[in-house]
Amino acid sequence: MTAAVEQRLAPLLTRDGPVAGYVAQGDELDVLPFLRAAHHAGREIALPAITRTEMRFGQWQPGAALNPGFSGIPQPDARDPLEPAILLTPLLGFDRTGNRLGQGGGFYDRWFAAHPAAMRIGIAWSVQEVPTLVCAPWDIPLHAIVTEKEWITPS
């Protein structure tokens, strides 16, 4: 994670409720430094635990063991799921209206649909922005996108 992204996310620590992030894969922005800071600020932290059919969020704290899950992605135990109030989600692409391109499994969109009150924040590099994304009826837009250059509130 860049220091600029962490600074942009810092105001989220004043909001109530658990914060969820992800374990970065490949070139995704790493949000674990922010999640560590949130934990040290007294916030409950969660990471996704994905099966073939659903995504839940399991509680996590720095230093806690993660096990290989769906597609080998490290994940916590989620037998007692935690419902995040704020969800940081990785992106492959995004546009300024809050549309997102993910990995294509639909896990985040299904979770967003079932938990509409959660604040949905996409995390991406600025070069991942595209002029327009074509969306399906089940695609749920983000409330904000954070890049190394800016905080974007969809129009």
pTM of the model: 0.91
- Is the model's pLDDT at 71 over the cut of 90? no
- pLDDT, average across residues 9-32: 93
How confident is the model over 93-147, as pLDDT tens digits?
A: 999 999 998 876 788 999 999 999 999 999 999 999 999 999 888 889 999 999 9
Residue with tokens 């549309």: 99
CA distance 101 to 91: 6
Q: What is the pLDDT of residue 93?
A: 94
CATH 3.40.50.10420 fits 3-152, yes or no: yes
CA distance 98 to 34: 22
The structural domains of the chain, with segments of one domain joined by +, span 3-152
Q: Strand ranges (DSSP E) for the chain?
A: 19-20, 45-50, 55-60, 67-68, 74-75, 86-90, 93-94, 100-101, 119-123, 144-146, 151-152
Q: With cut-offs at 50, 70 and 90, classify the pLDDT of residue 44.
A: very high
In this structure, are strands 119-123 and 144-146 parallel, antiparallel, or unpaired?
Answer: parallel
Residue with tokens 């993660």: 66
- 128 or 80, which is more confident: 128
